[in-house]
Structure 1
Amino acid sequence: MASEARLASEARSAAEAKLTAESKLTAEALVTAVLPTALPSVTPDRPAAAPRPKKRKPVAVIERATVELADPLAPVVVRASGLVKRFGPTTAVSGVDLEVRAGSFYGIVGPNGAGKTTTLSMITGLLRPNAGSIHVHGIDVWAKPVQAKRLIGVLPDRLRLFDRLTGAQLLYYSGTLRGLDNRAVRERSADLAAAFGLEDALNRLVADYSAGMTKKIALACAMIHSPRVLVLDEPFESVDPVSAVNVTEILQKYVASGGTVLLSSHGMDLIQRVCDHVAIIVQGTVLASGTIAEVRGSATLEERFIELAGGRKVAEGMEWLHSFSD
Protein backbone atom coordinates (compact mmCIF):
# COMPACT_ATOMS: atom_id res chain seq x y z
CA MET A 1 0.00 0.00 0.00
CA ALA A 2 2.78 2.39 0.96
CA SER A 3 4.54 1.66 -2.34
CA GLU A 4 1.38 2.32 -4.38
CA ALA A 5 0.76 5.60 -2.52
CA ARG A 6 4.35 6.69 -3.17
CA LEU A 7 4.04 5.91 -6.91
CA ALA A 8 0.74 7.80 -7.14
CA SER A 9 2.29 10.81 -5.41
CA GLU A 10 5.28 10.82 -7.78
CA ALA A 11 2.96 10.61 -10.79
CA ARG A 12 0.93 13.56 -9.56
CA SER A 13 4.11 15.60 -8.98
CA ALA A 14 5.38 14.86 -12.49
CA ALA A 15 2.07 15.83 -14.06
CA GLU A 16 1.95 19.09 -12.13
CA ALA A 17 5.53 19.95 -13.16
CA LYS A 18 4.73 19.28 -16.84
CA LEU A 19 1.59 21.40 -16.68
CA THR A 20 3.50 24.29 -15.08
CA ALA A 21 6.21 24.15 -17.74
CA GLU A 22 3.66 24.10 -20.58
CA SER A 23 1.77 27.02 -19.08
CA LYS A 24 4.98 29.03 -18.75
CA LEU A 25 5.97 28.23 -22.34
CA THR A 26 2.57 29.29 -23.63
CA ALA A 27 2.70 32.57 -21.75
CA GLU A 28 6.19 33.36 -23.00
CA ALA A 29 5.21 32.57 -26.57
CA LEU A 30 2.18 34.84 -26.31
CA VAL A 31 4.21 37.78 -25.04
CA THR A 32 6.83 37.29 -27.75
CA ALA A 33 4.19 37.11 -30.47
CA VAL A 34 2.62 40.42 -29.46
CA LEU A 35 5.71 42.61 -29.00
CA PRO A 36 8.93 41.52 -27.36
CA THR A 37 10.10 44.00 -24.75
CA ALA A 38 13.81 43.29 -25.04
CA LEU A 39 14.24 41.47 -28.35
CA PRO A 40 17.72 40.12 -27.55
CA SER A 41 17.85 38.73 -31.05
CA VAL A 42 15.93 39.55 -34.20
CA THR A 43 16.42 36.07 -35.62
CA PRO A 44 13.90 33.30 -34.86
CA ASP A 45 14.68 31.04 -31.93
CA ARG A 46 16.00 27.68 -33.15
CA PRO A 47 18.02 24.87 -31.56
CA ALA A 48 21.71 25.51 -31.98
CA ALA A 49 22.28 22.44 -34.15
CA ALA A 50 19.18 22.82 -36.33
CA PRO A 51 20.06 23.51 -39.99
CA ARG A 52 18.62 26.60 -41.62
CA PRO A 53 15.96 25.77 -44.22
CA LYS A 54 17.70 27.91 -46.84
CA LYS A 55 20.35 30.55 -47.12
CA ARG A 56 18.89 34.01 -47.55
CA LYS A 57 20.49 36.35 -50.03
CA PRO A 58 21.94 39.53 -48.52
CA VAL A 59 20.06 42.71 -49.27
CA ALA A 60 22.93 44.41 -51.06
CA VAL A 61 25.74 42.59 -52.81
CA ILE A 62 25.69 44.08 -56.31
CA GLU A 63 26.85 47.54 -57.35
CA ARG A 64 26.03 48.87 -60.80
CA ALA A 65 29.19 50.07 -62.51
CA THR A 66 27.29 52.68 -64.55
CA VAL A 67 23.84 54.22 -64.37
CA GLU A 68 21.45 52.22 -66.55
CA LEU A 69 18.48 54.01 -68.05
CA ALA A 70 15.05 52.71 -67.13
CA ASP A 71 13.25 50.94 -69.95
CA PRO A 72 11.41 53.71 -71.87
CA LEU A 73 8.64 51.19 -72.59
CA ALA A 74 8.24 50.22 -68.93
CA PRO A 75 4.87 51.15 -67.43
CA VAL A 76 4.49 54.43 -65.56
CA VAL A 77 4.23 53.48 -61.89
CA VAL A 78 4.01 56.99 -60.40
CA ARG A 79 1.98 59.60 -62.27
CA ALA A 80 1.37 63.05 -60.81
CA SER A 81 -0.81 65.34 -62.89
CA GLY A 82 -1.40 69.03 -62.26
CA LEU A 83 -0.53 68.96 -58.55
CA VAL A 84 -1.32 72.17 -56.72
CA LYS A 85 -0.89 72.88 -53.02
CA ARG A 86 -1.62 76.16 -51.27
CA PHE A 87 -0.96 77.18 -47.69
CA GLY A 88 -3.14 80.21 -47.19
CA PRO A 89 -2.01 82.87 -49.67
CA THR A 90 1.19 80.96 -50.49
CA THR A 91 1.26 78.51 -53.40
CA ALA A 92 3.90 75.89 -52.56
CA VAL A 93 3.30 73.68 -55.61
CA SER A 94 1.88 75.00 -58.87
CA GLY A 95 0.85 72.44 -61.48
CA VAL A 96 3.56 69.79 -61.06
CA ASP A 97 3.50 66.90 -63.56
CA LEU A 98 5.74 63.85 -63.07
CA GLU A 99 5.97 60.43 -64.69
CA VAL A 100 8.19 57.79 -63.11
CA ARG A 101 8.56 54.46 -64.88
CA ALA A 102 9.08 51.04 -63.32
CA GLY A 103 12.74 50.28 -62.59
CA SER A 104 13.69 53.96 -62.55
CA PHE A 105 16.00 55.74 -60.11
CA TYR A 106 14.33 59.16 -60.29
CA GLY A 107 15.75 62.24 -58.58
CA ILE A 108 14.05 65.53 -57.72
CA VAL A 109 16.26 68.56 -57.10
CA GLY A 110 15.51 72.16 -56.29
CA PRO A 111 16.48 74.99 -53.94
CA ASN A 112 15.16 75.20 -50.39
CA GLY A 113 11.46 76.03 -50.42
CA ALA A 114 11.03 74.90 -54.04
CA GLY A 115 8.21 72.47 -53.18
CA LYS A 116 10.09 69.15 -53.28
CA THR A 117 8.93 67.89 -49.87
CA THR A 118 5.38 69.12 -50.47
CA THR A 119 5.28 67.26 -53.79
CA LEU A 120 6.56 64.00 -52.29
CA SER A 121 4.12 64.33 -49.37
CA MET A 122 1.21 64.57 -51.80
CA ILE A 123 2.46 61.62 -53.86
CA THR A 124 2.63 59.39 -50.77
CA GLY A 125 -0.76 60.41 -49.40
CA LEU A 126 0.59 62.39 -46.46
CA LEU A 127 -0.69 65.75 -47.70
CA ARG A 128 -3.90 66.31 -49.67
CA PRO A 129 -3.48 68.45 -52.82
CA ASN A 130 -5.78 71.35 -53.62
CA ALA A 131 -5.88 70.17 -57.22
CA GLY A 132 -4.46 67.42 -59.40
CA SER A 133 -4.22 63.64 -59.14
CA ILE A 134 -1.68 60.99 -58.14
CA HIS A 135 -1.69 57.38 -59.28
CA VAL A 136 0.70 54.66 -58.07
CA HIS A 137 0.63 51.52 -60.21
CA GLY A 138 -2.69 52.74 -61.58
CA ILE A 139 -4.26 53.23 -58.15
CA ASP A 140 -5.57 56.66 -57.20
CA VAL A 141 -3.71 57.55 -54.00
CA TRP A 142 -6.52 59.68 -52.63
CA ALA A 143 -9.49 57.63 -53.85
CA LYS A 144 -8.01 54.32 -52.63
CA PRO A 145 -5.36 55.28 -50.05
CA VAL A 146 -5.10 51.88 -48.33
CA GLN A 147 -4.44 49.97 -51.55
CA ALA A 148 -1.99 52.60 -52.81
CA LYS A 149 -0.01 52.83 -49.59
CA ARG A 150 0.57 49.07 -49.55
CA LEU A 151 2.78 49.59 -52.59
CA ILE A 152 4.83 52.45 -51.16
CA GLY A 153 7.71 52.68 -48.72
CA VAL A 154 8.24 56.20 -47.37
CA LEU A 155 11.16 58.02 -45.79
CA PRO A 156 9.64 61.42 -44.93
CA ASP A 157 11.31 64.70 -44.20
CA ARG A 158 11.61 65.71 -40.52
CA LEU A 159 11.50 62.16 -39.22
CA ARG A 160 8.93 61.37 -36.57
CA LEU A 161 9.72 57.95 -35.11
CA PHE A 162 8.63 56.10 -31.99
CA ASP A 163 12.04 56.78 -30.49
CA ARG A 164 11.25 55.25 -27.09
CA LEU A 165 11.35 51.85 -28.80
CA THR A 166 14.59 50.04 -29.50
CA GLY A 167 15.70 49.67 -33.10
CA ALA A 168 14.58 46.03 -33.09
CA GLN A 169 11.17 46.91 -31.69
CA LEU A 170 10.70 49.69 -34.25
CA LEU A 171 11.46 47.27 -37.09
CA TYR A 172 9.14 44.70 -35.53
CA TYR A 173 6.36 47.26 -35.23
CA SER A 174 6.83 48.43 -38.84
CA GLY A 175 6.76 44.89 -40.18
CA THR A 176 3.69 43.75 -38.25
CA LEU A 177 1.91 47.00 -39.14
CA ARG A 178 2.41 46.01 -42.78
CA GLY A 179 0.91 42.57 -42.17
CA LEU A 180 4.08 40.45 -42.02
CA ASP A 181 4.09 37.42 -39.75
CA ASN A 182 6.46 37.05 -36.80
CA ARG A 183 9.03 34.90 -38.61
CA ALA A 184 9.16 37.12 -41.71
CA VAL A 185 9.59 40.26 -39.59
CA ARG A 186 12.47 38.79 -37.62
CA GLU A 187 14.27 37.43 -40.68
CA ARG A 188 13.90 40.66 -42.63
CA SER A 189 14.94 42.70 -39.60
CA ALA A 190 18.13 40.65 -39.37
CA ASP A 191 18.86 41.18 -43.08
CA LEU A 192 18.23 44.92 -42.90
CA ALA A 193 20.25 45.38 -39.71
CA ALA A 194 23.21 43.61 -41.33
CA ALA A 195 22.89 45.60 -44.56
CA PHE A 196 22.73 48.96 -42.79
CA GLY A 197 25.36 48.11 -40.16
CA LEU A 198 22.94 48.41 -37.25
CA GLU A 199 23.38 45.01 -35.58
CA ASP A 200 25.09 46.44 -32.49
CA ALA A 201 22.47 49.17 -32.10
CA LEU A 202 19.25 47.15 -32.34
CA ASN A 203 18.79 46.82 -28.59
CA ARG A 204 19.34 50.54 -27.92
CA LEU A 205 16.56 53.13 -27.85
CA VAL A 206 16.16 54.99 -31.13
CA ALA A 207 16.21 58.20 -29.07
CA ASP A 208 19.90 57.47 -28.40
CA TYR A 209 20.79 57.05 -32.09
CA SER A 210 22.86 59.57 -34.00
CA ALA A 211 21.18 61.48 -36.84
CA GLY A 212 22.72 59.15 -39.42
CA MET A 213 21.67 55.99 -37.57
CA THR A 214 18.15 57.37 -37.20
CA LYS A 215 18.00 57.92 -40.94
CA LYS A 216 19.16 54.36 -41.61
CA ILE A 217 16.68 52.70 -39.22
CA ALA A 218 13.88 54.78 -40.76
CA LEU A 219 14.93 53.65 -44.24
CA ALA A 220 15.01 50.04 -43.05
CA CYS A 221 11.45 50.46 -41.73
CA ALA A 222 10.39 51.83 -45.13
CA MET A 223 11.82 48.78 -46.91
CA ILE A 224 10.80 45.95 -44.60
CA HIS A 225 7.55 45.11 -46.43
CA SER A 226 9.34 45.03 -49.83
CA PRO A 227 7.33 47.82 -51.49
CA ARG A 228 7.17 48.33 -55.24
CA VAL A 229 8.00 52.04 -54.91
CA LEU A 230 10.31 53.82 -52.46
CA VAL A 231 9.74 57.55 -51.95
CA LEU A 232 12.67 59.06 -50.06
CA ASP A 233 13.00 62.67 -48.95
CA GLU A 234 16.68 63.55 -48.46
CA PRO A 235 17.76 59.96 -47.65
CA PHE A 236 21.47 60.85 -47.44
CA GLU A 237 21.18 63.88 -45.19
CA SER A 238 23.32 63.43 -42.03
CA VAL A 239 24.60 60.06 -43.32
CA ASP A 240 28.37 59.59 -43.30
CA PRO A 241 30.14 58.87 -46.63
CA VAL A 242 30.74 55.17 -45.91
CA SER A 243 27.10 54.60 -44.95
CA ALA A 244 25.98 56.64 -47.96
CA VAL A 245 27.85 54.30 -50.29
CA ASN A 246 26.27 51.30 -48.57
CA VAL A 247 22.77 52.78 -48.78
CA THR A 248 23.34 53.60 -52.46
CA GLU A 249 24.30 49.99 -53.17
CA ILE A 250 21.16 48.74 -51.43
CA LEU A 251 18.96 51.07 -53.48
CA GLN A 252 20.76 50.16 -56.71
CA LYS A 253 20.17 46.47 -56.07
CA TYR A 254 16.53 47.22 -55.32
CA VAL A 255 16.14 49.08 -58.63
CA ALA A 256 18.03 46.39 -60.56
CA SER A 257 15.48 43.87 -59.21
CA GLY A 258 12.55 45.88 -60.60
CA GLY A 259 11.84 48.33 -57.79
CA THR A 260 11.40 52.06 -58.33
CA VAL A 261 13.04 54.84 -56.32
CA LEU A 262 11.83 58.44 -56.24
CA LEU A 263 14.04 60.66 -54.10
CA SER A 264 14.87 64.27 -53.41
CA SER A 265 18.36 65.49 -52.66
CA HIS A 266 20.54 68.59 -52.62
CA GLY A 267 23.57 66.55 -53.69
CA MET A 268 23.93 67.17 -57.41
CA ASP A 269 26.90 64.84 -57.71
CA LEU A 270 24.92 62.05 -56.06
CA ILE A 271 21.89 62.58 -58.32
CA GLN A 272 24.09 62.69 -61.42
CA ARG A 273 25.94 59.55 -60.33
CA VAL A 274 23.07 57.25 -59.30
CA CYS A 275 19.87 58.52 -60.95
CA ASP A 276 18.78 57.82 -64.51
CA HIS A 277 16.08 60.53 -64.57
CA VAL A 278 15.78 63.89 -62.85
CA ALA A 279 13.31 66.74 -62.43
CA ILE A 280 14.31 70.27 -61.44
CA ILE A 281 11.64 72.06 -59.39
CA VAL A 282 11.86 75.80 -58.75
CA GLN A 283 9.12 77.81 -57.02
CA GLY A 284 6.71 74.90 -57.16
CA THR A 285 7.06 74.31 -60.90
CA VAL A 286 8.95 71.66 -62.89
CA LEU A 287 11.35 73.60 -65.12
CA ALA A 288 13.11 70.59 -66.64
CA SER A 289 12.68 66.82 -66.54
CA GLY A 290 13.96 63.79 -68.39
CA THR A 291 17.08 61.68 -68.42
CA ILE A 292 20.17 63.12 -66.77
CA ALA A 293 21.74 63.69 -70.21
CA GLU A 294 18.65 65.47 -71.53
CA VAL A 295 18.37 67.81 -68.55
CA ARG A 296 22.02 68.78 -68.16
CA GLY A 297 22.81 69.10 -71.87
CA SER A 298 26.46 70.04 -72.43
CA ALA A 299 26.88 71.34 -68.86
CA THR A 300 26.97 69.57 -65.52
CA LEU A 301 23.75 69.00 -63.64
CA GLU A 302 24.84 71.55 -61.03
CA GLU A 303 25.48 74.21 -63.67
CA ARG A 304 22.12 73.51 -65.30
CA PHE A 305 20.39 73.67 -61.92
CA ILE A 306 22.00 77.02 -61.05
CA GLU A 307 21.00 78.39 -64.45
CA LEU A 308 17.35 77.39 -63.98
CA ALA A 309 17.23 78.43 -60.32
CA GLY A 310 18.26 82.01 -61.14
CA GLY A 311 22.04 81.93 -61.24
CA ARG A 312 24.61 82.79 -58.60
CA LYS A 313 23.95 85.74 -56.30
CA VAL A 314 26.67 88.38 -56.04
CA ALA A 315 27.36 89.36 -52.45
CA GLU A 316 27.51 93.14 -52.11
CA GLY A 317 27.47 95.62 -49.27
CA MET A 318 29.20 93.38 -46.72
CA GLU A 319 32.42 95.33 -46.32
CA TRP A 320 31.97 95.15 -42.53
CA LEU A 321 32.70 91.42 -42.73
CA HIS A 322 36.21 92.22 -43.93
CA SER A 323 37.00 94.36 -40.87
CA PHE A 324 37.62 91.92 -38.08
CA SER A 325 36.30 92.77 -34.61
CA ASP A 326 39.58 92.15 -32.79
Structure 2
Amino acid sequence: MLRIEHLTKIFGEKVAVDNLNLHIKPGEIYGFIGHNGAGKTTTLRSVVGIQQFDSGEIYIDGISIKADPIACKQMLAYIPDNPDLYEFMTGIKYLNFIADIFEVSAAQRQARIRDYADRFELTADLASPIASYSHGMRQKLAIVSAWLHNPRLIVMDEPFVGLDPKASRHLKDMMREVCDSGGAIFFSTHVLEVAERLCDKVAVIKQGRLVRFGTVEEVKGDDSLEDAFLELEGQQ
Protein backbone atom coordinates (compact mmCIF):
# COMPACT_ATOMS: atom_id res chain seq x y z
CA MET A 1 0.00 0.00 0.00
CA LEU A 2 2.67 2.51 1.09
CA ARG A 3 6.36 1.97 0.52
CA ILE A 4 8.93 4.55 1.61
CA GLU A 5 12.41 3.86 0.25
CA HIS A 6 15.54 5.73 1.38
CA LEU A 7 13.61 8.94 2.04
CA THR A 8 15.90 11.86 2.81
CA LYS A 9 14.95 15.50 3.36
CA ILE A 10 17.42 18.25 4.25
CA PHE A 11 16.62 21.78 5.40
CA GLY A 12 19.80 23.84 5.12
CA GLU A 13 22.31 22.01 7.30
CA LYS A 14 19.69 19.97 9.16
CA VAL A 15 18.87 16.45 8.00
CA ALA A 16 15.18 16.26 8.89
CA VAL A 17 14.67 12.72 7.55
CA ASP A 18 17.68 10.47 7.04
CA ASN A 19 17.44 7.46 4.69
CA LEU A 20 14.08 6.28 6.04
CA ASN A 21 12.61 2.97 4.85
CA LEU A 22 9.12 1.81 5.79
CA HIS A 23 6.49 -0.49 4.30
CA ILE A 24 2.82 -0.29 5.30
CA LYS A 25 0.63 -3.09 4.03
CA PRO A 26 -3.12 -3.13 3.32
CA GLY A 27 -5.08 -3.75 6.50
CA GLU A 28 -2.52 -2.14 8.82
CA ILE A 29 -2.90 0.72 11.25
CA TYR A 30 0.67 1.99 11.49
CA GLY A 31 1.65 4.42 14.25
CA PHE A 32 4.55 6.84 13.83
CA ILE A 33 6.06 8.12 17.07
CA GLY A 34 8.91 10.42 18.02
CA HIS A 35 9.66 13.62 19.89
CA ASN A 36 8.92 17.07 18.48
CA GLY A 37 11.29 17.77 15.59
CA ALA A 38 12.13 14.10 15.04
CA GLY A 39 10.97 14.18 11.41
CA LYS A 40 7.41 12.82 11.67
CA THR A 41 5.58 15.71 10.01
CA THR A 42 8.21 16.05 7.28
CA THR A 43 7.79 12.35 6.48
CA LEU A 44 4.00 12.55 6.41
CA ARG A 45 4.02 15.66 4.22
CA SER A 46 6.40 13.91 1.84
CA VAL A 47 4.15 10.85 1.67
CA VAL A 48 1.13 12.91 0.61
CA GLY A 49 3.02 14.95 -1.96
CA ILE A 50 3.08 18.40 -0.39
CA GLN A 51 6.72 18.31 0.71
CA GLN A 52 9.45 17.77 -1.85
CA PHE A 53 12.29 15.54 -0.71
CA ASP A 54 15.93 15.36 -1.68
CA SER A 55 16.34 11.66 -2.39
CA GLY A 56 14.54 8.35 -2.17
CA GLU A 57 11.14 7.26 -3.41
CA ILE A 58 7.61 6.95 -2.10
CA TYR A 59 5.13 4.54 -3.69
CA ILE A 60 1.40 4.38 -3.04
CA ASP A 61 -0.10 1.17 -4.35
CA GLY A 62 2.96 0.86 -6.59
CA ILE A 63 2.71 4.38 -8.03
CA SER A 64 5.49 6.91 -7.42
CA ILE A 65 4.38 10.12 -5.71
CA LYS A 66 7.05 11.89 -7.77
CA ALA A 67 6.07 10.42 -11.13
CA ASP A 68 2.28 10.63 -10.78
CA PRO A 69 1.24 12.74 -7.78
CA ILE A 70 -2.35 13.16 -9.01
CA ALA A 71 -2.98 9.41 -9.19
CA CYS A 72 -1.49 8.99 -5.72
CA LYS A 73 -3.52 11.82 -4.20
CA GLN A 74 -6.72 10.35 -5.60
CA MET A 75 -6.09 7.26 -3.47
CA LEU A 76 -5.24 8.99 -0.20
CA ALA A 77 -6.49 11.49 2.34
CA TYR A 78 -4.40 13.69 4.62
CA ILE A 79 -5.29 15.37 7.89
CA PRO A 80 -2.54 17.74 9.10
CA ASP A 81 -1.94 18.52 12.75
CA ASN A 82 -3.75 21.86 12.37
CA PRO A 83 -6.37 21.56 9.60
CA ASP A 84 -6.47 24.74 7.51
CA LEU A 85 -10.13 24.95 6.49
CA TYR A 86 -11.88 27.67 4.50
CA GLU A 87 -13.49 29.68 7.27
CA PHE A 88 -15.81 31.63 4.95
CA MET A 89 -17.58 28.40 3.98
CA THR A 90 -20.23 26.59 5.97
CA GLY A 91 -19.43 23.05 7.01
CA ILE A 92 -21.72 21.52 4.38
CA LYS A 93 -20.33 23.71 1.60
CA TYR A 94 -16.82 22.66 2.52
CA LEU A 95 -17.76 18.97 2.46
CA ASN A 96 -19.43 19.37 -0.93
CA PHE A 97 -16.36 21.23 -2.18
CA ILE A 98 -14.13 18.31 -1.18
CA ALA A 99 -16.60 15.82 -2.66
CA ASP A 100 -16.55 17.75 -5.93
CA ILE A 101 -12.75 17.63 -6.10
CA PHE A 102 -12.79 13.84 -5.75
CA GLU A 103 -15.85 13.45 -8.01
CA VAL A 104 -17.95 11.74 -5.36
CA SER A 105 -21.47 11.15 -6.64
CA ALA A 106 -24.42 12.98 -5.08
CA ALA A 107 -25.86 9.79 -3.60
CA GLN A 108 -22.53 8.66 -2.13
CA ARG A 109 -21.67 12.02 -0.61
CA GLN A 110 -25.10 12.43 0.96
CA ALA A 111 -24.93 9.00 2.55
CA ARG A 112 -21.37 9.44 3.80
CA ILE A 113 -21.89 12.97 5.12
CA ARG A 114 -25.01 11.82 6.96
CA ASP A 115 -23.20 8.82 8.44
CA TYR A 116 -19.96 10.48 9.54
CA ALA A 117 -21.46 13.82 10.61
CA ASP A 118 -23.98 11.97 12.75
CA ARG A 119 -21.24 9.92 14.37
CA PHE A 120 -19.41 13.08 15.40
CA GLU A 121 -22.61 14.92 16.35
CA LEU A 122 -21.74 17.56 13.75
CA THR A 123 -24.86 17.46 11.61
CA ALA A 124 -26.64 20.34 13.36
CA ASP A 125 -23.60 22.59 12.83
CA LEU A 126 -23.02 21.96 9.13
CA ALA A 127 -25.07 25.01 8.14
CA SER A 128 -22.89 27.28 10.29
CA PRO A 129 -19.71 28.99 8.99
CA ILE A 130 -16.48 27.22 9.81
CA ALA A 131 -15.24 30.47 11.37
CA SER A 132 -17.65 29.81 14.24
CA TYR A 133 -16.34 26.27 14.87
CA SER A 134 -14.25 25.32 17.89
CA HIS A 135 -10.94 23.52 17.37
CA GLY A 136 -12.60 20.19 18.11
CA MET A 137 -15.39 20.83 15.60
CA ARG A 138 -12.86 21.75 12.91
CA GLN A 139 -10.97 18.54 13.61
CA LYS A 140 -14.19 16.55 13.25
CA LEU A 141 -15.02 18.31 9.97
CA ALA A 142 -11.54 17.55 8.64
CA ILE A 143 -12.01 13.88 9.53
CA VAL A 144 -15.39 13.70 7.80
CA SER A 145 -13.95 15.37 4.70
CA ALA A 146 -11.03 12.91 4.62
CA TRP A 147 -13.36 9.91 4.60
CA LEU A 148 -15.69 11.25 1.88
CA HIS A 149 -14.00 9.75 -1.17
CA ASN A 150 -13.35 6.37 0.44
CA PRO A 151 -9.53 6.65 0.30
CA ARG A 152 -7.35 3.56 0.35
CA LEU A 153 -4.64 5.25 2.42
CA ILE A 154 -5.31 7.80 5.18
CA VAL A 155 -2.38 9.79 6.57
CA MET A 156 -2.93 11.78 9.76
CA ASP A 157 -0.73 14.00 11.91
CA GLU A 158 -1.80 13.91 15.58
CA PRO A 159 -5.46 13.24 14.72
CA PHE A 160 -6.68 12.82 18.30
CA VAL A 161 -5.66 16.30 19.46
CA GLY A 162 -8.77 18.33 20.28
CA LEU A 163 -11.18 15.40 20.15
CA ASP A 164 -13.35 14.50 23.12
CA PRO A 165 -13.36 10.84 24.30
CA LYS A 166 -16.52 9.96 22.36
CA ALA A 167 -15.18 11.44 19.12
CA SER A 168 -11.85 9.69 19.67
CA ARG A 169 -13.64 6.38 19.96
CA HIS A 170 -15.54 7.00 16.73
CA LEU A 171 -12.29 7.86 14.94
CA LYS A 172 -10.65 4.66 16.18
CA ASP A 173 -13.63 2.64 14.93
CA MET A 174 -13.46 4.37 11.53
CA MET A 175 -9.75 3.71 11.25
CA ARG A 176 -10.32 0.01 11.85
CA GLU A 177 -13.17 -0.03 9.31
CA VAL A 178 -10.81 1.37 6.66
CA CYS A 179 -8.26 -1.35 7.34
CA ASP A 180 -10.86 -4.12 7.51
CA SER A 181 -11.92 -3.12 3.99
CA GLY A 182 -8.36 -3.39 2.66
CA GLY A 183 -7.10 0.14 3.24
CA ALA A 184 -4.28 1.36 5.46
CA ILE A 185 -3.70 4.06 8.07
CA PHE A 186 -0.42 5.88 8.75
CA PHE A 187 -0.57 8.38 11.59
CA SER A 188 1.65 10.16 14.07
CA THR A 189 0.75 10.49 17.72
CA HIS A 190 2.19 11.50 21.06
CA VAL A 191 -0.50 9.53 22.87
CA LEU A 192 1.41 6.30 23.29
CA GLU A 193 -1.38 4.52 25.17
CA VAL A 194 -3.59 4.97 22.09
CA ALA A 195 -0.84 3.71 19.79
CA GLU A 196 -0.25 0.66 21.96
CA ARG A 197 -3.93 -0.34 21.98
CA LEU A 198 -4.85 0.64 18.44
CA CYS A 199 -1.91 0.00 16.15
CA ASP A 200 -0.94 -3.18 14.36
CA LYS A 201 2.60 -1.83 13.92
CA VAL A 202 4.58 1.18 15.07
CA ALA A 203 7.76 2.94 14.01
CA VAL A 204 9.95 5.11 16.21
CA ILE A 205 11.89 7.95 14.61
CA LYS A 206 14.67 9.88 16.33
CA GLN A 207 16.60 12.79 14.81
CA GLY A 208 15.36 11.81 11.38
CA ARG A 209 16.40 8.18 11.63
CA LEU A 210 14.19 5.15 12.08
CA VAL A 211 15.40 3.49 15.27
CA ARG A 212 12.84 0.72 15.75
CA PHE A 213 9.79 -0.63 13.92
CA GLY A 214 7.57 -3.69 13.83
CA THR A 215 4.53 -4.99 15.63
CA VAL A 216 3.65 -3.29 18.89
CA GLU A 217 4.87 -6.36 20.77
CA GLU A 218 8.18 -6.38 18.89
CA VAL A 219 8.80 -2.71 19.57
CA LYS A 220 7.85 -2.62 23.24
CA GLY A 221 9.02 -6.08 24.33
CA ASP A 222 8.09 -6.75 27.95
CA ASP A 223 7.64 -3.04 28.72
CA SER A 224 4.86 -0.61 27.89
CA LEU A 225 5.23 1.28 24.62
CA GLU A 226 5.81 4.44 26.66
CA ASP A 227 8.69 2.83 28.58
CA ALA A 228 10.21 1.45 25.37
CA PHE A 229 9.95 4.85 23.69
CA LEU A 230 11.56 6.67 26.61
CA GLU A 231 14.38 4.12 26.67
CA LEU A 232 15.00 4.66 22.95
CA GLU A 233 14.89 8.43 23.44
CA GLY A 234 17.56 8.15 26.12
CA GLN A 235 19.94 6.21 23.90
CA GLN A 236 22.61 8.16 22.03
TM-score range, shorter-chain basis?
over 0.9
Query: 2-side partners of 1:239 and 1:188: how far apart?
Result: 20
Structure 1 position 186 matched with structure 2 position 110: yes
Query: 2-side partners of 1:245 and 1:190: how far apart?
Result: 18
**Residues 164 and 207 in structure 1, CA contact (< 8 A), matched pair in contact too:** yes
* Aligned with residue 15 of structure 2, among 81, 91, 110: 91
Structure (1 or 2) with the greater strand fraction: 2
**Residues 206 and 214 in structure 1, CA contact (< 8 A), matched pair in contact too:** yes
- Corresponding residue of 1:271: 195
* Aligned with residue 244 of structure 1, among 151, 154, 168: 168
Which moved further from structure 2: 131-140 or 253-262? 253-262
What is the one-letter code of the residue matched to 1:254?
A: V
**Residues 171 and 221 in structure 1, CA contact (< 8 A), matched pair in contact too:** yes
Higher RCO (CA < 8 A, seq sep 6+): 2
Query: 2-side partners of 1:269 and 1:184: how far apart?
Result: 35
The structure with more radius of gyration: 1
Q: For 1:8-87, list aligned pairs within 5 A.
A: 77-87=1-11
- Corresponding residue of 2:182: 258
Per the TM alignment, residue 221 of structure 1 is displaced from its structure 2 partner at its CA by: 0.8
- Corresponding residue of 2:57: 133
Identity %: 35
C-alpha deviations, 1:203-254, integer Å up to 9, x for none?
1111111111111100111110001011011110111112111211121222
Per the TM alignment, residue 187 of structure 1 is displaced from its structure 2 partner at its CA by: 2.6
C-alpha deviations, 1:102-155, integer Å up to 9, x for none?
000100000011000000000110101111100000000111001111110111
C-alpha deviations, 1:49-106, integer Å up to 9, x for none?
xxxxxxxxxxxxxxxxxxxxxxxxxxxx100011111111111111111100100010
What is the one-letter code of the residue matched to 1:270?
A: V
Any idea what SS the aligned residue of 2:162 has?
Answer: coil
**Residues 172 and 189 in structure 1, CA contact (< 8 A), matched pair in contact too:** no
Structure 1 position 143 matched with structure 2 position 143: no
Which moved further from structure 2: 244-253 or 221-230? 244-253
Which moved further from structure 2: 300-309 or 251-260? 251-260
- Corresponding residue of 1:297: 221
What is the one-letter code of the residue matched to 1:154?
A: Y
TM-score, structure 1 as length reference: 0.70
Query: 2-side partners of 1:253 and 1:187: how far apart?
Result: 16
Query: 2-side partners of 1:130 and 1:183: how far apart?
Result: 42
**Residues 172 and 186 in structure 1, CA contact (< 8 A), matched pair in contact too:** no
Any idea what SS the aligned residue of 2:77 has?
Answer: strand
Q: For 1:280-319, list aligned pairs within 5 A.
A: 280-310=204-234
Any idea what SS the aligned residue of 2:213 has?
Answer: strand
Equivalent residue pairs, number: 235
**Structure 1, gaps ≥5 residues long:** 1-76, 312-326
**Residues 176 and 185 in structure 1, CA contact (< 8 A), matched pair in contact too:** no
Structure 1 position 200 matched with structure 2 position 124: yes
Query: 2-side partners of 1:184 and 1:241: how far apart?
Result: 28
Which moved further from structure 2: 217-226 or 248-257? 248-257
- Corresponding residue of 1:230: 154
What is the one-letter code of the residue matched to 2:87?
A: D
Query: 2-side partners of 1:82 and 1:252: how far apart?
Result: 28
- Corresponding residue of 2:84: 160
Per the TM alignment, residue 185 of structure 1 is displaced from its structure 2 partner at its CA by: 2.2
Any idea what SS the aligned residue of 2:140 has?
Answer: helix
Per the TM alignment, residue 169 of structure 1 is displaced from its structure 2 partner at its CA by: 0.6
**Residues 105 and 260 in structure 1, CA contact (< 8 A), matched pair in contact too:** yes
TM-score, structure 2 as length reference: 0.97
Query: 2-side partners of 1:250 and 1:150: how far apart?
Result: 19
Any idea what SS the aligned residue of 2:185 has?
Answer: strand
What is the one-letter code of the residue matched to 1:168?
A: I
**Structure 2, gaps ≥5 residues long:** none
